[in-house]
Amino acid sequence: MNLLKLLPLLFLFFAAACSTLVLQPADFNYPVESVISIGDDGIAKDERYSLSFNTKPLFFEESGDSLAYVGKEIRMIRNTQGYYFITSKNFKNVYVFSADESAMNMKSKILISETGILNPAFNQRNPYVELMDGSNKTKLTAEGIESEEQK
C-alpha cells in the first residue's frame, strides 16, 4: 500500500527533472548582412559568426549546376526568429533556412525576380528582412514576401 502512495511522488520527481529550460526572450538577428566568398570546395565560411556550410546543393537548386558556386559569393542575414536568409547575384530566389543538428534545413524559397537579382543586399528592418536590388526593396519574412495589404 505504501508503494502505491509513493508512485505519484516518484512520477512528479522524474517529470520535474525532465523539464526543459527556456531562455526567453531571445533575439537571433545579425544586425548586418554577411557577404561570404565560397571556397574551392563549395564551403561558405563566415568567420564573424563561426558558421560554415556546403553551398553546392543551394547552387544546384537555383541553377541546376552544382559547380555554379565557383568564383561566387553569397549574401546572408539572420532574422530575430533565427532564420537565415541567403541569396546571390543572379539568383531568382531568396532561400530561408533554419539551423538543425549539423545541417541547415530549407524552410522556404521566395521567388524575387524571374530574370535574377542583379545587386542583392540585405538589411534588418524588424520584424522584416529587407532585400534591396538597386531601387527595388522587398520586405521578407520566413514565410515569404510581406505585402502592403498585410500591414
- pLDDT tens series, the chain, 151 aa: 566 666 666 565 555 556 789 888 888 888 889 999 999 999 999 998 899 999 999 999 999 998 999 999 999 999 999 999 999 999 999 999 999 999 999 999 999 999 999 999 999 998 999 999 999 999 999 999 997 544 4
Q: Where are the domains of the chain?
A: 27-150
Instruction: Please give the pLDDT value at position 18.
Output: 67
Write phi, then psi, for 6 (nearest 5 degrees). -80, -25
* Cross-strand bridge partners of residue 75: 35, 87
Instruction: Please give the pLDDT value at position 151.
Output: 42
**Dihedral angle sign, alpha carbons of residues 121, 124, 125, 127:** positive
Q: Tell me the CA distances in angstroms from 6 to 14, 16, 20, 72, one per residue in order.
A: 12, 16, 24, 65
Rounded CA-CA distance 97/107 in Å is 5
Q: Copy the grid coordinates of residue 69.
A: 558556386
Instruction: Please give the pLDDT value at position 32.
Output: 87
